[in-house]
Amino acid sequence: MKQSYGILLYRWKAGEPQFFLVHPGGPFFVNKNEGSWTIPKGEPNADEEPLDTAVREFEEETGYRPSGHFIPLQPVVQKGGKQINCWAVEGDLAPEKIRSNTFELEWPPKSGKKQDFSEIDYAGWYHFEKAKKLINERQQDLLVQFNNLVKKNI
């Protein structure tokens, strides 16, 4: 099973958690909104520790390096079968200042033309209900897990 490692960044506003979500860049997601957003995540390099992968991917996709107390969440499985392993950590960054890495894609398909696209085209902070609508349906459980952990610790 393919593995991906990511970070669910959160912050507190008016006593409620907000979640930092990103919208995938490139031509496939340009007109998609609800159900298309995600946590910053990616696949490991050879011999890379899972949490190190998650932190590196977050930094590559946003320009921000998360640090602090990383809370492991239970993995979720995407529709395609890839397992997403995630840690929640508190942090803050300005969505308009993200700096994403790019990827190359033949576009339009079969045109022979290669184009660079940002891995992330925009990002934002969202309260639970809005985040749950925006995020990929298979990642919604990450938000639920975090909320359940917070409620247990209050």
Tell me which residue of 44, 47, 151, 60 sits closest to 101, measured CA to CA. Answer: 60
Tell me which residue of 91, 80, 88, 95 sits closest to 137, measured CA to CA. Answer: 80
Q: Which two tokens stand for residue 85?
A: 């392993």
With tokens 């209900």, the residue in question is 129
Q: Is residue 83 within 8 Å of 5, Cβ to Cβ?
A: no
Q: What is the pLDDT of residues 7-57, one digit of tens each?
A: 999 999 999 999 999 998 887 777 787 888 999 999 999 999 999 999 999
Percent of the chain with pLDDT over 70: 98
Q: What is the pLDDT of residues 49-84, one digit of tens each?
A: 999 999 999 999 999 999 999 999 999 999 989 999
pTM above 0.75, yes or no: yes
For residues 87-115, average pLDDT: 89
Torsion of CA 38, 8, 4, 80, to 10 degrees: -40
Instruction: Delineate the domains of the chain, giving CATH numbers in brackets.
Output: 3-152 (3.90.79.10)
Q: Which pLDDT score is estimated for 99?
A: 87
